[in-house]
Amino acid sequence: MSVTRIEVKDLVVRYGDQVAVNGVSFTVGRGEHLTLLGPSGCGKTTTLRAVAGLEQPSGGRISIDGQTMYDSSQRKNVQTEQRGVSMVFQSYAVWPHMSVFDNVAYGLRVRKLGADEIKANVERALDLVQMRHLADRGASKLSGGQQQRVALARAIAFSPTVVLFDEPLSNLDAKLRAEMRVELRELQRRLGITSVYVTHDQEEALAISDRVIVMNVGVIEQIGTPEEIYNKPRSRFVADFVGSANLIKGKPVGEGLFAVEGGPTLKVMAPHKPHGNESEVAVRTAYIDLEPRSGDNHVPGKVRQRLFHGDFVQYVIDSAVGALIVRRPPVNLLAEGAPVTLSFSPEHCVLLEA
Q: Which of 110, 257, 320, 333 binds other proteins (CB under 8 A)?
A: 110
Pairing assessment for the beta strands 219-224 and 322-328 based on DSSP bridges:
unpaired
Element (H, E) at 60: strand 59-64
| Binding of residue 178 to other proteins (CB under 8 A) | no
Query: Measured from the CB atom, is 26 or 106 closer to other proteins?
Result: 106
- Residue span binding other proteins (CB under 8 A) among the ranges 32-40, 157-165, 216-224, 252-260: 157-165
User: What is the identity of the amino acid at 135?
Assistant: A
106 counts as binding other proteins under rule CB under 8 A = yes
Instruction: Annotate each residue in 116-155 with x if it binds other proteins (CB under 8 A) or - if it does not, as one string.
Output: -x---x------------------x-------------x-
Nearer to other proteins, 25 or 56 (CB): 56
Q: What is the number of residues in the chain?
A: 354
DSSP secondary-structure letter at 333? Answer: P
13-72 residues in contact with other proteins (CB under 8 A) are 52-54, 56
**Do 223 and 46 form a contact (C-beta atoms < 8 A)?**
no
By CB under 8 A, tell whether 108 contacts other proteins.
yes
Nearer to other proteins, 113 or 247 (CB): 113
**CB 285, CB 245: distance < 8 Å:** yes
Task: Quote the least distance from Cβ 138 to other proteins, whole Å.
Answer: 8
Contact status, residue 22 vs residue 43, Cβ threshold 8 Å: yes
Q: Which among 95, 115, 92, 13 is positioned nearest to 54, based on CA atoms?
A: 13
Closest CA to 313 of 323, 325, 322, 301: 325
* Interface with other proteins, residue 93, by CB under 8 A: yes
The stretch near other proteins (CB under 8 A) out of 7-15, 93-101, 251-259, 340-348 is 93-101
Q: Interacting stretch for other proteins, rule CB under 8 A, among 86-94, 243-251, 295-303, 338-346?
A: 86-94
Distance CA 332, CA 291 (A): 11
C-beta of residue 60 within 8 angstroms of C-beta of residue 19: no
Beta strands 67-71 and 76-77, pairing class:
antiparallel
The answer to whether the CB of 340 falls within 8 A of the CB of 290 is yes
d(CA 187, CA 182): 9
- Size, binding site for other proteins by CB under 8 A: 35
> For residue 69, what are the contacts with CB-CB under 8 A and spacing of at least 6?
51, 53, 62, 63, 76, 77, 78, 83
Contact range with other proteins by CB under 8 A, out of 3-11, 78-86, 167-175, 257-265: 78-86
- Window contacting other proteins (CB under 8 A); options: 94-102, 177-185, 219-227, 323-331: 94-102
Interatomic CA distance for residues 342 and 315, integer angstroms: 11
Residue 346, judged by CB atoms within 10 A of its CB (0-12, 13-18, 19+), counts as middle
Closest C-alpha among 70, 149, 66, 61 to residue 103: 149
CB nearer other proteins, residue 158 or residue 237: 158
Closer residue to other proteins in complex, CB, 34/239? 34
* Contact flag: residue 172 with other proteins (CB under 8 A): no
Q: Of 75 and 175, which has the nearer Cβ to other proteins?
A: 75
Q: Is 238 in the site for other proteins (CB under 8 A)?
A: no
CB-nearer residue toward other proteins: 81 or 136:
81
* 222 binds other proteins, rule: CB under 8 A: no
Question: Of these, 27, 68, 159, 171, which contacts other proteins (CB under 8 A)?
Answer: 159
Which residues are at the interface with other proteins (CB under 8 A)? 52-54, 56, 79-82, 84-87, 89-91, 93, 95-97, 106-108, 110-113, 117, 121, 140, 154, 158-161, 164
